Each structure stands twice: as structure tokens, then as C-alpha cells.
Amino acid sequence: MFARGLKRKCVGHEEDVEGALAGLKTVSSYSLQRQSLLDMSLVKLQLCHMLVEPNLCRSVLIANTVRQIQEEMTQDGTWRAVAPQAAERAPLDHLVSTEILCRAAWGQEGAHPAPGLGDGHTQGPVSDLCPVTSAQAPRHLQSSAWEMDGPRENRGSFHKSLDQIFETLETKNPSCMEELFSDVDSPYYDLDTVLTGMMGGARPGPCEGLEGLAPATPGPSSSCKSDLGELDHVVEILVET
Amino acid sequence: MGEDTDTRKINHSFLRDHSYVTEADIISTVEFNHTGELLATGDKGGRVVIFQREPESKNAPHSQGEYDVYSTFQSHEPEFDYLKSLEIEEKINKIKWLPQQNAAHSLLSTNDKTIKLWKITERDKRPEGYNLKDEEGKLKDLSTVTSLQVPVLKPMDLMVEVSPRRIFANGHTYHINSISVNSDCETYMSADDLRINLWHLAITDRSFNIVDIKPANMEDLTEVITASEFHPHHCNLFVYSSSKGSLRLCDMRAAALCDKHSKLFEEPEDPSNRSFFSEIISSVSDVKFSHSGRYMLTRDYLTVKVWDLNMEARPIETYQVHDYLRSKLCSLYENDCIFDKFECAWNGSDSVIMTGAYNNFFRMFDRNTKRDVTLEASRESSKPRAVLKPRRVCVGGKRRRDDISVDSLDFTKKILHTAWHPAENIIAIAATNNLYIFQDKVPGLVRFPERSGVGFVFCVPVSSSDSPAIC
């Protein structure tokens, strides 16, 4: 920090600055660690989409951890501050990775989700996790992570997240990283369950669903948007309009 | 040996000391019956293997009976839930023996959704000398029958027959984590993440819900049931543990729905140790009543605790299983090891408690002397008749020979399931797909090493069976 031999002109002031700098470093490294823990937890919740029903205890514990972090970050006032930073850091990576996954998923023929299979729990748990609505975020997080009953509820949340996808892709302007990441992921995960269910009894392991679909022959180079037109049609059937 | 090296190189993700580990062979539960004569194991492939202790031979009075395979059967098959488009695993989560009431043995085995009652019978005689049928079962020509005879029972090779007597299905929406037979021998309970049901052993189409912690709005869910057990003597009392580290003792006489606990056992959080992982490591993975019924044993991620039923405020004893992991919680969270559910066990006299850990280590704590020991279940360290050597994990500082450093622990080798014979010092340890049975050389005595490092008395019995499962 300070080179040795530097005379201390004003002991009090420099000590304060030193202390403050040191404090800042520990604070920023703590908040970095905390952020990475938050990211890790969110990824873990999303990866709960296996062929077998996810472990509810594990999901609850992870969700509680996420809520703790969010509460602390809200108290610190760092909740809003961190999000845009993160968005700057790697929005493109997320866009690319999810787009590829989307493409591979949609590439499968006849992949129309059957009614009643659009389980609520397959929603990206981060679907509503936007800094602006931090108070509501934990609720939605939890509901989507393990909502398992009532096809009506499922259809509702399915529809809702699709709205967000349309919105996001229309604007192509990620306001917050998590929102974009999760929303684009949502339809993929819904399809994931459907497709793996259709794959005639093959039983992939925890992350095999992802790997299994990625190398699939990529469909036509049509954008996600045109494929979503198809999805729109399906949703109409589901909500019986 | 060369083959082994190649397999090791190629399949470093599997266990190191064996070649491929089939996932279906991973043992998922171990349970002695009430006399200790039988030992049942369940695996991920839905199979149950029962071992029987050979009677002590008169020729060698000091050598105790060893366990051989008695019966193997497929308990559960994989199923597909078409409504949710999800698979139902056939993995056996728990096995509980029913107290023996006649010549047959019975046990309950459960996967995530369905409990089955199996009856195990022996047949060692068969009738011979029928009048109308010949030995092959074909009808005799009546003109050849000149006299009548009474069929006699002749001995035959022992045949063990297993049949499913009851199937208790559709009782649970969530995954079943525990079953427990009541001391009344008529009822039993099954617990999933949010509900506990009471069944009668003879009735399969009906069960009573006795605990329901599902919130009206699933968004408010923050706590789940992790384990439950009936009191060994009082048929109205049972306990269930939660993911927040609390225990609730319930009395079925109080109400039909036991949502209000009679007693709540909870230890206040230590503020100095608080971290983002505090809640996760406080989640109770197993709860067991002592044989006396006076105490409860709980296992959370880093400790085992003994609770006195008369004191709700805090446990009376706390033992550190592997406190050196406390500084590694973040990595263990990353690789999901922090969610591992270890079980715990009492010995017959409630004086020693046992639980598993990583690196195929398991730990024993003597409640009276407060001494503890770490032992390893592995092929290398367990030659037949060998005495188990205590192991030590060094955390830096002085390192003795044979010590293992924390960083070289193998977290894929975890001992989640252990069982202790109800009366004798015989323990069964499940290490992934292998079952280890250790017994005490000197009956009735468990010795813990002194500082001089005297070897622990448990030793490995010579296995006389061909089964690859016993080591």
C-alpha cells in the first residue's frame, strides 16, 4: 500500500486512510466472495432440473442461503450496486451460452410441451430476481424452485415467465444480468424436462440433461424469436385462450 | 495389478481401490434386526440383501459367528410418474425390521414413494410320499397303487422365500426419508419432507396424516422434515428433526394432527461461529432414540449431539466429528458435500455412539470416558483378523506418521450408513458399495486407544461367503 520510508506528515489522517483502504479491501473481497456465493447458489438451484424430482431439503437450504445473502446485501445497500457491475462483467457470455442452449433445445423436432408437463418447478428460480424487486425476489425464488402441485399454478407461472422472455428479447437490452440469464433459460429448462421425458427411458445424471442436448444437431439458424412464436402458440393452448 | 493401474488412470472419478463402481450397487441403508441375527442392506438399484449370522461353532468357542448372505431380492423397481414426467428412483432409502412374532421374519423397505412389507420364510423340509402323485408331480396310474401311505416331511436344502405382503403406496407427495415401527407392533410411521403419516401394518389403502408442515403458500417454505422415529417404549411419542436443526417431540394423544409439538429441542446459535453456512450445517440428518428411551442422538454436518428428553434448551453432550472441515465449508458447499446426510448409531448399552465421515473414516465416542477414535473401513487396512488401527487427521502443526492431512481426504468416500448390533459389539459399515462388518475380539468390551497408541480391539472376521459385498 504505502511504500516504506514515506514520512508520515499527518499521522492521524494517513492512518485513517490506511485503515479505510484496508477496510475497503476486506469489504470488497468479502462482497466479492458473497457475490460469488450468491451466483453459485443460484446456479445450484437451476441445476436442480434432473429427470428425478429434485431434493427438496437441498433446494430449501440453498434458497435460505440465497435469502440470507440478499437480506444482508439489502441492508448493506450493496444490492443495487453489485448488479450492474456484474452485468458489465459478463452479460455477453451469458447471452451466448444460453442462446446456444436455446438453439440446441429448439432444434429437436416436434418438441411441443404437452399440457400439464410445464411444471412450475422447472422455471428458472431466478425468473423474478431483479434488484428492483428485491423484497419479492425470495418469494418467487422459492415458489419456482419447488412448486410441484396444481397444473393451474404451473400454467400460470409458465405463461408469466414467457412474457418476460418476450419482453427481454424484444428490447435486447439487459437491464440486469440475472433477469436476462434466467428468463432465457426458462423455456430451455421446461423443454429439458419434456425432452428428457421423451427420450425413451434414458436416465441422464444430474447435469447430463444439459450435456445431452448441447451436442444435438443445431436446428435451422432461425433466431430464438421465431421459435418462440411456436412457443406462443403452445402457451395459448395451455392457457386455453 | 497393471489392469488396476489402467482402470485407475482412466476412471479416476470412481473409487480408487476398485475398478468400476456400478451405481446400482451403492449401499443406501443398513439395519440389524432386533436380535442381531440378521442384517439387511438396501442399495441404489432397489435390491435388499440380508445377511445371517452363523451360529457359533462348538469347535472354536472363542470365534463368534460371522455373517453370510441369507437372501437377496429385488424390493423396488424404477417407476415413472407420468403426471409429473419424472422418474421415481428405486433406491432403498430405509429398511426397518418388524419384531419377530413367529417363525417368519418381516421387514419394511421403502424408496422415495412406496413402502413395502416383506415376509421372509424358510423352507427346509418337503413332503414326500404322496399317494396320488409321483415324485415328479405326475399323477400316478391308480391301478399301480396298492397301499396307502402317509406323506412324510423330509429335510431339504434350506430355501429362503421372500414375498411382498403389503404395498403401502400413494401416501406421499414428497420423498420419504424415514420409516419407524411403533412399539405397539401394529402401526408404523413414514415421513417425507413435509408430512408424516401413520399406517397400520395390515391396512394399505389408508393412512393418517399426523404431521403436516407444508405452508399454505409454498413460497413461504423454509424448513423441511429430515428424519423421524418412534419412541422405543412409549407408543404415543415420536420425534422428528428439521433442516433448521430443531427436534420436535410429539404426543399422539394430544391431537389427531400433531403440528403442535409437546417439546421443542433447539440449541441457540453460537453468534461467534455464524456464517452463511450456519443453517445448512445445523440441519439434522439423523435422529435416534437411545435404547433406554431417555436420550436422543442427532447428527448434523459437523457434530453428533446427545439430548436428554427432559431438557429442551440444549444438548447434554456435543461431539465434534470433523471440525477441521469448518474452514472448508465453502468448497464443500460448492461440491455439494455439505448436503451429505450422515447417520448415527448407539451401541446396545447406550454408552458409545458412532457415526461416519469422509475418506471412509468412521468415528466412535465413548460417553463415559469422553474418549474418541477414528477408524477406517478400507480393503487395505482390513485384513481378516487384523486389529483396526486408529487413524488421525492432522490439521497442520505436528504431523505424525500415518496421519492424513485435511487436504488429502477423499470426499467421494463417505460413510453415510452405519449400524450397531443391538446387544454385542458388532458394527456394520457401508462404504459406497462395500459392506464391512467388524466385531470385537473380546465380547462385551470396547477399548479406546490410550496415548501410547494401542490398537483398537475391533477386528475383521474371516469371511466365509463368496459374496463380493462383504469384506
Q: What is the pLDDT of residues B175-207, one digit of tens each?
A: 999 999 999 999 999 999 999 999 999 999 999
Mutation target to probe the B interface, by most B beta carbons within 10 A, among A37, A43, A53, A129 is: A53
Distance from CA of A225 to the nearest CA of B (A): 27
Instruction: Confirm if B298 and B305 have CB atoms less than 8 A apart.
Output: yes
Interface test with B, best of A29, A50, A56 (most B CBs within 10 A): A56
Are B223 and A61 within 8 A, CB to CB?
Answer: no
Q: Closest partner residue to A56 among B80, B86, B175, by Cβ? A: B175
* One-character DSSP codes across B109-133: EE-SS-EEEEEEEEEEEEEE--SSB
Is the CB of residue B249 less than 8 Å from the CB of residue B239?
yes
Min CA distance, B267 vs chain A (Å)?
18
Tell whether B276 is within 8 A of chain A (Cβ): yes
Nearest CB to B218; choose among A34, A44, A146: A146
**In one letter, which amino acid is B284?**
V
Residue A56 lies in a domain: yes
Q: Is B120 a member of any domain?
A: yes
Which chain B residue's Cα is nearest to A120? B84
pLDDT beyond 50 at B209: yes
Q: How close B468 comes to chain A (CA, Å)? A: 26
Whether residue B75 is contained in a domain is answered as yes
In this prediction, residue A130 carries a pLDDT of 38
Work out how many domains chain A is built from and give that number: 1
B125 located within any domain: yes
CA distance B182 to chain A (A): 26
In degrees, rounded to 5, the angle at the alpha carbon of residue B117 between the alpha carbons of residues B164 and B341 is 125
B331 neighbourhood in chain A, CB within 8 Å = none
Contacts with A, B 278-307, CB within 8 Å: 279-280, 283
Tens digits of residue pLDDT in A28-77: 788 888 999 999 999 988 875 566 778 899 999 999 999 999 999 998 87
Residue of A nearest to B220 (CA): A139
B1: pLDDT confidence band, cut at 50, 70 and 90? very low
Q: Which three cell numbers stand for residue A147?
A: 412448486
Q: What is the pLDDT of residues B363-402, one digit of tens each?
A: 999 999 999 999 999 877 666 667 788 899 988 777 778 8
A95 domain-assigned? no
Give a yes or no: residue A102 inside a domain.
no
| Distance to chain A for B372, nearest Cα, Å | 30
Q: Is residue B49 part of a domain?
A: yes
Q: Is residue A68 part of a domain?
A: yes
More confident residue, B66 or A128: B66
Instruction: Supply the pTM of this predicted model.
Output: 0.70
Look at B276 and A52 and tell me if their CB atoms are within 8 Å. Answer: no
A34/B276 Cβ within 8 A: yes
> Of the segments A9-13, A135-139, B286-290, which one has the largest average pLDDT value?
B286-290
CA distance B273 to chain A (A): 16
- For chain B, give the number of residues: 471
Mean pLDDT taken over chain B: 87
The domain tally of chain B equals 1
Name the residue range of residue B45's domain.
33-134+152-169
- Strand order through the sheet with B225-230: B225-230, B237-242, B247-251, B263-265
pLDDT in tens, B40-83: 999 999 999 999 998 876 665 555 678 999 999 999 999 998 88
User: Per-residue DSSP letters for A188-230?
Assistant: HHHHHHHHHHHSTT----TTHHHHHHTTSPP--S--HHHHHHH
Residues of chain B contacting residue A116, judged by C-beta atoms under 8 Å apart: 83
Report helix, strand or coil for A91: helix
Residue A61 belongs to what domain range?
39-79
Q: How far is CA A182 from CA A46, A87, A126, A149, in A?
A: 9, 13, 6, 22
B68 found inside a domain:
yes
- Residue B265 in any domain: the answer is no
Flag whether A60 is in a domain: yes
- Do A56 and B83 count as a contact with CB atoms less than 8 A apart? no
Find the CB nearest B218 among A40, A142, A193: A142
